[in-house]
Structures are given as structure tokens and as C-alpha cells.
A = this chain, B = another copy of it.
């Protein structure tokens, strides 16, 4: 959201949350992390975000404890960014935002659907499985492309995300 991020006067949990994830691009970075994006360059091409902004956002998210930065290769040193427990707890926020964007923004075509991988049922309004009647753990959520998605995107990350995949599974796997 938005920025210059001091909502200091606000006595409000929502304002506290927005200080961490309210800046422009931040929630889209987190969304990509749920989709399995982990590397700087993959975020870069998929989001079309300026490099400097991406570096700033990743650093801020690591400092806030939402992402964990970890070395996956020495020489040359390469790091990946993975959601922490605190980051995973943002799933309800993203899910409810996606629901609102799909149902309440005029002219929106369904772009991605979320299903219970075990039984294939599309998730209900609270992220539960309506047929199993249980909340679905994140690792059992499968993302499936919807009708509105560009079938032949330019960048390889978008192409990888065209196939049904479980959340959190790294892209290169």
C-alpha cells in the first residue's frame, strides 16, 4: 500500500499489519512465494517489478520475519527466499483478497482456482473443503489455472504457473 509506512498513530491491528505488508508490491511478492517462487530473478521477471524495489521489499520482508533468506548454493553465492511460519499465516489474507477481487471487481474473469488436492473439490469461502468438511492444510491446496489466464505468456515463470500445482512447491521442482 502504499507508503511511507508509518501509521504510527493508529491503534489498530490492521494498521500494524499494513505497516509490514501494506507497501506497493509487497503482497504480490508474498503471493508469488505461496506459488513456489523463491529466487530473486523469478520474482523479477514474473512481477515486472523494478530491481531496486524488489531488493528493498525482500529485505524488509526478511527483517519482518515473513520470509527466510537462505543460501542454496555457495560460489557464486545464491540465496532463496522462503515463507516462514509468520509468512504462511498470511494465507487467509491472500485468499480473502483473491475472493474479493474475483467476485467484486467488475469485469474480472476467474484466473486461478484453489482445490483440495486429495479430493479435487474447490475450496469454500473460509478455505475449507466443502466435501471433506475440514480446513485444508496449505500443503494440500492445489492451484489450477482459470479461463481468464493468458495461455501463452512471455516469461518462463508465468508458463510454469499455467500448470496445476500445489502451493509452496518450489518452481524448479
CB pair A150 B1 closer than 8 Å: no
Tier of interface size on chain A = 35 or more
Bound Cα distance A90, B101 (Å)? 10
Q: Scan residues 64-87 of chain A and give those whose CB is less than 8 A from a CB of chain B.
A: 65, 86
Residue of B nearest to A30 (CB): B14
Q: Scan residues 9-47 of chain A and give those whose CB is less than 8 A from a CB of chain B.
A: 9-20, 22-28, 31, 47
CB pair B126 A104 closer than 8 Å: no
Q: How far is the CB of A132 from chain B (nearest CB, A)?
A: 16
A27 in contact with B16 given A11-B111, A89-B103, A103-B89 (CB within 8 Å): no
CB pair A11 B148 closer than 8 Å: yes
Residue of B nearest to A48 (CB): B9
User: How many copies altogether?
Assistant: 2
Bound Cα distance A144, B25 (Å)? 33
Residue of B nearest to A127 (CB): B126
**Cβ-defined partner of A13 (8 Å) among B9, B112, B150:** B112
A12 in contact with B104 given A23-B1, A27-B18 (CB within 8 Å): no
A11 in contact with B105 given A22-B2, A92-B96, A98-B17 (CB within 8 Å): no
Chain B residues whose CB sits within 8 angstroms of the CB of A94 once the complex forms: 14
Cβ of A3 within 8 Å of any chain B Cβ, yes or no, is yes
CB pair A1 B27 closer than 8 Å: yes
Q: How far is the CB of A160 from chain B (nearest CB, A)?
A: 14
Complex A-B, nearest 7 residue pairs according to Cβ-Cβ distance, in ascending order: A1-B1, A2-B24, A1-B2, A2-B2, A17-B101, A13-B101, A126-B126
